[in-house]
Amino acid sequence: MLQLRQLTLTHWIIAVNTAAFLLSAMLSGSLWSISIQTLVDLGANYGPYTTDGAWWRLLSSTVLHAGAIHYVFNNAVLYQIGGIVEQLVAKSAFLLIYILCGIGASATSLYFNYGVVSIGASGAIFGLFGFFAAMLTTDMLRPAVRKQFVKSIGVFVLINLAIGMVGPIDNAAHLGGLVTGFLIGLLCLPLVRKRLYRAMATHAEAATDNQEPIAND
């Protein structure tokens, strides 16, 4: 079992999402389908309310989910991509990136879907994919590894966008988060590169120190 000091920011974000989901389920009386009114009351991104001074909804909407399936899927993906991105930047930077991606996603949704109630962490999650995609434009990863990540991210994005064409999914938020994360990633490239090279140097130094001396006969 993880101790508190072992918890990453990704774990804490998932914990906040979980608390918000349980609260909304309790107020709505259902785990599978949270009522729209409950979501709006708890901070969903809804144009007429958000632009009437409730700008905090751009962020609060990212911790709300429409039901158990929506909640489980988003947080399972967040656990995976969050764990990767969190190793590339400092903790404070990771939290800022996640928040900015969430706000960017919500702002895009607000512009294109003004009268739609928008909720979910997927916009911020797409932002993390966008951030990591920016890393793939460099030579920091081996070509074979980079190619595999590009393929995986591409498949994930295309499948989700395709589903959004036929279902009640906010593709505007997804694309807004993706672009926001990618742009932030490009800006952060020098910092990430420096952090990775420093980690590699530390690892190499530790490996050298741990080598046993070879005795000559």
> Which distant-in-sequence residues (6+ apart) come within 8 Å of 14 by Cβ?
75, 78, 79
Give DSSP secondary structure letters for 87-133. TTS-HHHHHHHHHHHHHHHHHHHHHH-TTS-B--SHHHHHHHHHHHH
Residue (of 21, 19, 14, 180) closest to 103 by Cα position: 180
Q: How far out from the chain centre does Cα 88 lie?
A: 14
Q: What is the C-alpha end-to-end distance of the chain, expressed in Å?
A: 49
Question: Any idea which residues carry the catalytic annotation?
Answer: 122, 174
